[in-house]
Structure 1
Amino acid sequence: MNRTSLCIKMLLLLKSRGKMNTSELAQQLETNPRNIREFRKELEVAGYNIKEIKGRYGGYVLDEDDLFPVIRLTNEEVQALDESRYLVSSHKEYSRLKEYNNAIDKIMQMYHNESRSPNYFMDTPGNVLSSKMLTFLDTMNQGLKDKHCINLTYQTSKEDKPCTFLFDPYEVLHYHKAYYVIGFSHRRKDIRIFRFSDQRMYDCQYTSIKFLKDSNYKLEYYIGKHSIIKGNFIQIKMKADLHTRRMVKEMYWGYDFKEEKFEKYSIFSFFVEDVLDFYRKIYSFHEGIEILEPLDVRKNYIQSLKNTLGIYEK
């Protein structure tokens, strides 16, 4: 790592961890303490004010009044955060598990359109995958990312023994405390969904065979009462003004979240299963957001507001 990179990394450490002494910085940067003092001088020449606190528990502190650019996460770092759900969710004693999942949802929403494996969480992750299934999940995600076929060995509930066949992974998702992959089965010549389960999935091998995703494929075609993924899912479209759309993007609204930007507003679309929870989120904004579709969801929300207003107008 060159000198410039080390200086930048030193800034990142001071910004994220707060006060650090020379030895701690040298250890993190894999250099000697003398270089840390030189890095500080160079950074101050560049305009950063790094304060030095004397004493036994002293160290360097970056002046919080300094302007500091937010460094974007790499695709690998985003994927690592996404996958960390599995590990953290296995520790049920963690008192802030709900807040952790909400925070990850917000980060994932920020990087929704980046080139990463599109794992959809339709609800909060619950059951923890075995180490074998985690390995299969990684393999499936790699095939999804690279557009390479997977050699899948799987036994459905209607079959007496497992079968091995080629599979094109399109999407990995979580629904009702289980993980699934949806894609094209070369065996059935159709879209199929398979569950990551030790009782069903026997093997999952990455192949050198490339696949081309069906251009007509849309996830929403395969969810709903009479689809592969059962459930009462509703596609929502809502409008947010310039001031509000930034705050909208900080929240988790549902899966397949999309934004269409215009000069003075944005149109957001996504799928929800719990409409009441959606209403609660909309109401928390008070203004700046308008439900566009579906019309019955819009009308029901308007009526709810009228009913509430009527109570106070008596």
Structure 2
Amino acid sequence: MSKLSNTLLMLQLLQNGRKYSVKELAEKIEVSQRMIRKYKDELDCAGIFIDTIKGPYGGYVLNRDFNVPYLNLNNSDLDIIEETCKRIDDDEIKRGLIDIKSKITLNLNNKENNRNTILSDDRELNVFNKINNAYKNNLKLKIKYYNLQHGESIRTIYPLGLYLFQNEWWVSAYWEEKDDMRQFHLKRILDCEILDAKFNPDEINIKF
């Protein structure tokens, strides 16, 4: 199954409220324990926080309800979820994935309303539109970003998604200078420029 399907399957397993060890999750999803930890990090970045219980009887626990944030998923991604549902025999997991698919579809349908009501001014709307354009066309961005510790800096990023967390927009992107994935608060992007340089998102997904 795809990375997206595996992450959603792990999320659905954790939704029943019980504790799973990394080994248990790896065996159920049929991936390595390293990939389970990576899926957890990605869910955390998306605002779906999973608690880690340490010790010999520790594991991962999802101990609160969540709203699926808006990611820049497309119809192909939703098709992957649907195909995954067809291949899973466990009815409880299948119902959960269908529920997640419905929530994501609802968020996609409400995208325009959310964008217009949550972006607070013309500058943010302009930045949002540039990032969205760059994301759709796999173009690199040069941004002026404000960090509370270091002030303003210029960064080159490869936008891989836009999502809402606590009613504010964030950008999931590869940061070229740091060679790492980061989450950028849209409010702190003071300005951005679309560069005439493409990137391959599949290469980044494989790397991270």
TM over 0.5: no
Higher helix share: 2
Give the alignment's TM-score, normalised by structure 2.
0.43
Greater RCO structure (CA 8 Å; 6+ sep): 2
Larger radius of gyration: 1
Give the alignment's TM-score, normalised by structure 1.
0.29
